[in-house]
Structure 1
Amino acid sequence: MPIIDDSIKVNIHLLKQAELSGIHVDLHKYFDELTFDIISRIAMGQEDSRQFNSEFCKMAHDVFALQHNNIFDYIAFIFPWIGKNILDPFVAFTGKIRKDPLQLLIGKIYEARRVDFIDLFLESEVENNEVDLTKNNGNYSKTDKFERHTILEEIVLNCVLFLLAGFDTTSNNLSLMAHYLVIWLNGEELTFYYPFGGGPRICIGLRFAIMETKMILVRLLKTFELKRCLETEAELKFIGQIVLNPGKVFVELKLRK
């Protein structure tokens, strides 16, 4: 919690600077920087806050901006086995050539080996980065036990998952709440609070995300009044990316006395 609170304080300081300059802010952009900073410090071992000064955050934005509307993506979606066995190696190779944002992000994580949360994976990393998947012809009984190893590539891809899934959805959630607080000034009939889905595939970061969201909202609303401005849109223009994105959420900030 101290790490989360420290990043929130940095973000509030940046918002105060924007408020003093009299500009209307896009809260979605600030929430993106804040939530990415938090997950980077907690999961990736980043030592200090680097909001609006992180190359990783820019790469993550570029990954989510991918539209996946080329012919190879369509083929992979329709025939998954083709995508896995034929297209994936080709996409990875060409991605390095054309500087694909996801490949760039993976490359940066390979370089940044000093981490915190990833130590849990590194403890199980197999030597020489090799795992024998052909033992017993790949057949195992459900009752058999075998030692679980992790290869470097799997560790890196888990890091990518933490970074991407750990910031964008929380930022979108905060942006929508801020927008509705500005548009709907009078509270309506309360029904229920259910920010996440349910079932066996529930988000593994549910409690962390809820705690983070509450801490950010409390600090933000204790410091500022959120007011409608000329740039505030009555209806947000959602962008269809990997995750539905609310786009820009402009508000006027008024410092509370």
Structure 2
Amino acid sequence: MIALVFTVVAIFIALYYAYYFAAANNAQYWKRRGIEGPESKNKFLHFTEDLLNPNYNSCYLLRDWTKKYGKIYGIMEGWRKVLVIADYKLAHEVLVKKFEIFHARKLGALSPDNEKEKGIHVFNASGSRWKRLRTIINPCFSVNSLKLMFNTVDDSCKVMLSLMDKEYEADNAFNIHKYFHELTMDVISRIAMGQKGTKQFNNPNVEVAKAIFQRKGIVWLDDLAHMFPFAGHYFFKSLILMAKLTYFPVKQMLDDITAAVEERKKQRAKGINATKNNELVDFIDLFIDAEAENIKDDAYSKSNVKIEKKMTTEEIVQQCFLFLLAGFDTTANTLAISTWLLAKHPDVQQQLIDEIDDICTTDEITYEQVNELRLCDAVMKEALRLYPIATFVVGRECVEPTKLGNVELEKGVYVMCDVLSMHYDKNVWGENAEEFYPERFFDFSVEQQMSYYPFGGGPRVCVGMRLAYMEQKMALARILKKYKFVQCPETEKELKLTGCFVLNPDSVTIKLEKR
């Protein structure tokens, strides 16, 4: 018995030191290649916990490092080798010119395996599977689809405005961010899931979605997946098992979506089909129309080969899950930040009000009128330049050896773009790069276009970008036709921005002033 114990202990010690020396050797990866970068005191996780710190978004950490190490440097994220770039020409090369080599996103260590999992959404998918899903999804955000969604978006905006009326009547200083969260969840629930009518301030998915973005309950498992990437698939399976045994926000939302999809399929079986009755359809209906079993994706090709426009039931659930999350947080955060900036810059706000009054002359606002709101569009874009909401989407995995600038990259190396540094580069944006100046987007140079990535870039740019802009502009138009955003003693001097994935203002406190 004693011998067995000693044997087990000896094996454990041997494995520990084997892993320790392998990790130490791996940590020198960039130094051996002559590439500078910060050194971490954590020999196993390296900068994993720093990059996923909910109290200091990674975009600020990358900017700090870029100031010290220049526009190209290497870091370690657990076992992962990550090259960070802040040069817009290199970013364009990764996202556009060499897309076939960088078509896979830099995903979290706990992400599902693209080849093994039945259910995967377009954000996590890569290769031909991504191409198939993206081809099916694109029509959901076409101009015709946006026009069909417009009245639903407008109705939710009107409901939000009626709720804000109570804050004005009580002369309250209030956190407008929570209203935008309710609005965006309401809109995406109606157009993606077929929710009947509005459920603002009565939708449990708002709190569930917030919990998901906070990584509640998965930090320790995520750390293990970063330390042992070769076992990532098994850690993901452990996450699924843990979700089944305990309360888990992701599971709760997936269960609700699965139930909605199954209920819709039952309605189809009874002959109730909105797509055949020329009724307004939601994403579930559109995806069910593309449903099929046993789909096999071939190797990825950038050529325009024929794509099988089908998806599995598991994939349908995952697409709906993605759009509920993506349509909720980023849009609400952008609206909140834009509101804060307009309250801080009443001159710009007045110009925007004048534009809205000139174009939206009656209470009925049309899709075409919203598209004409040029300054409103510039305000949103400038807010996203100063506060890029989702910089994590601009990360890629190198799927075959290549050269980027003067750096030879091996297969499996990751590339992260320091979007914040590119958005503040005075050589690109001018000496007023740190100022709120929406008019800069009236004359958008090629260099600026190549340096601007609030929604990602290249073929994998956010598929819902046009819907986000439409919803944001509609919300501002509705509010500013009636009120002005006004600073008050409680208004934040500077925004407190948190979130490990999405840049999230803790609160935006303003008052409304009747026009």
TM-score bracket for the superposition, by shorter chain length: 0.7 to 0.9
Q: Residue 253 of structure 1 aligns to a residue in which SS?
A: strand
State the Cα distance separating 1:230 from its structure 2 match.
2.2
Q: Name the amino acid aligned to 2:253.
A: L
In the alignment, the residues of structure 1 paired with residue 307 and residue 160 of structure 2 have an alpha-carbon distance, to the nearest angstrom, of: 46
- Tell me if structure 2 keeps the 8 A contact 1:227–1:254: yes
C-alpha distance 192-80 of structure 1, shift in aligned 2 (>3 A): farther
Residue 139 of structure 1 and its aligned partner are, at CA, apart by: 6.8
Counterparts of 2:488 and 2:255, CA distance in 1 = 41
Instruction: Deviation per CA, 1:164-217: give whole Å up to 9, x if none.
Output: 011211111111110011123344653126664532221111111111111111
Change (3 A) 1:6 1:233: same
Distance across 2 between alignment mates of 1:171 and 1:225 = 19
Give the aligned partner of residue 290 of structure 2. 124
Moved more, 186-195 or 11-20: 186-195
Alignment correspondent of 1:110: 258
SS at match of 2:510: strand
Task: Note the C-alpha offset of 1:151.
Answer: 2.0
Which whole-Å CA distance do the structure 2 matches of 1:53 and 1:121 have between them?
27
Partners of 1:80 and 1:31 lie apart in 2 by 38
The counterpart of 2:485, out of the listed 214, 219, 226, is 226
Deviation, structure 1 residue 149:
4.0
Q: Separation in 2 of the partners of 1:176 and 1:3?
A: 24
Tell me, yes or no, if structure 1 residue 247 matches structure 2 residue 506. yes
How has the CA–CA distance of structure 1 residues 185 and 132 changed in structure 2, closer, same or farther, with 3 Å as cutoff? closer
Q: Compared with structure 1, are the counterparts of its residues 131 and 232 closer, same or farther at alpha carbon in structure 2 (3 Å cutoff)?
A: same
Unpaired runs of 5+ in structure 2?
1-149, 265-280, 349-435, 443-451
Of residues 22, 31, 50 in structure 1, which corresponds to 2:199? Answer: 50
One-letter identity of the residue aligned with 1:120: L
Letter in 2 for 1:131: N
Which one of 294, 317, 332 corresponds to residue 171 of structure 1? 332
Tell me the secondary structure at the aligned position of residue 460 of structure 2: coil
Query: For the residues of structure 2 that align with 1:120 and 1:168, how far apart are their CA atoms?
Result: 23
Asked if the contact 2:176/2:508 (under 8 Å) is kept, the reply is: yes
Q: From the superposition, tell whether residues 228 and 207 of structure 1 become closer, same or farther in structure 2 (CA, over 3 Å).
A: same
Which amino acid is the alignment partner of residue 185 of structure 1?
A: P
Partner SS state of residue 112, structure 1: helix
Mean CA deviation greater in 37-46 or 142-151 = 142-151
The amino acid across from 2:474 in the alignment is M
Match among 74, 95, 103 for residue 243 of structure 2: 95
User: How far is the alpha carbon of 1:47 from its aligned partner?
Assistant: 1.3
Partner Cα distance (1:237, 1:254) in 2: 24
Paired residues of 1:42 and 1:117 also in contact (CA < 8 A): yes
Q: In 2, Cα distance between the equivalents of 1:69 and 1:60?
A: 15
Q: CA deviation at 1:68?
A: 7.5
- Counterpart residue identity of residue 182, structure 1: A
Superposed CA RMSD = 2.6
1:152 aligns with 313
Give the distance between the partners of 1:150 and 1:80, measured in 2 at CA.
Answer: 28
Query: Aligned in 2, Cα 1:39/1:141: closer, same or farther, shift over 3 Å?
Result: closer
CA distance in 2, matches of 1:72, 1:184: 44
The alpha-carbon deviation at position 146 of structure 1 amounts to 7.8
SS at match of 2:473: helix
Taking a change above 3 Å as real, the CA distance of residues 11 and 145 of structure 1, as seen in their structure-2 partners, is: closer
Contact 1:237–1:246 under 8 Å retained in 2: yes
Deviation at 1:53, TM superposition (A): 0.5
Deviation (angstroms), 1:74 = 2.2
Distance 1:68 1:15 in 2: 34
Closer, same or farther: CA 220–78 of 1 in aligned 2, 3 Å: farther
Per the TM alignment, residue 241 of structure 1 is displaced from its structure 2 partner at its CA by 3.0
Task: Work out which of the residue numbers 471, 476, 496 in structure 2 matches 1:237.
Answer: 496
Greater RCO, 1 or 2 (C-alpha within 8 Å, sep 6+): 1
Question: Contact conserved, 1:96 with 1:104, CA < 8 A, in 2?
Answer: no
Verify the 8 A CA contact 1:40 1:46 in the aligned structure 2. yes
The corresponding residue for 2:345 is 184
After TM superposition, the structure 1 stretch with the greater mean CA deviation from structure 2, 151-160 or 70-79, is: 70-79
Give the deviation of 1:140 after TM superposition. Answer: 6.6
Aligned residue number for residue 72 of structure 1: 221
Q: Provide the C-alpha distance between the structure 1 equivalents of 2:248 and 2:498, rounded to a whole number of angstroms.
A: 20
Structure 1: runs of 5+ lacking an equivalent: none
The change in CA–CA distance for 1:105 and 1:184 in structure 2 (over 3 A counts) is same
> Are the equivalent residues in 1 in contact too, given 2:214–2:499 (CA < 8 A)?
no
1:9 partnered with 2:158: yes
Counterpart of 1:21 (choices 170, 183, 188) is: 170
| Cα deviation 1:72-116 (Å, max 9, x = unaligned) | 202324554522x20111111112222110111001111123382
Q: Is the 8 A contact 2:295 2:310 kept in 1?
A: no
Deviation at 1:10, TM superposition (A): 0.2
- Distance in 2 (CA, whole Å) between partners of 1:211 and 1:139 is 36
- Please, what TM-score do these two structures have when normalized by structure 1? 0.86
Range that drifts further, 100-109 or 19-28 = 19-28
Q: 1:38 aligns with which of 187, 190, 197?
A: 187
Identity of aligned residues (%): 41
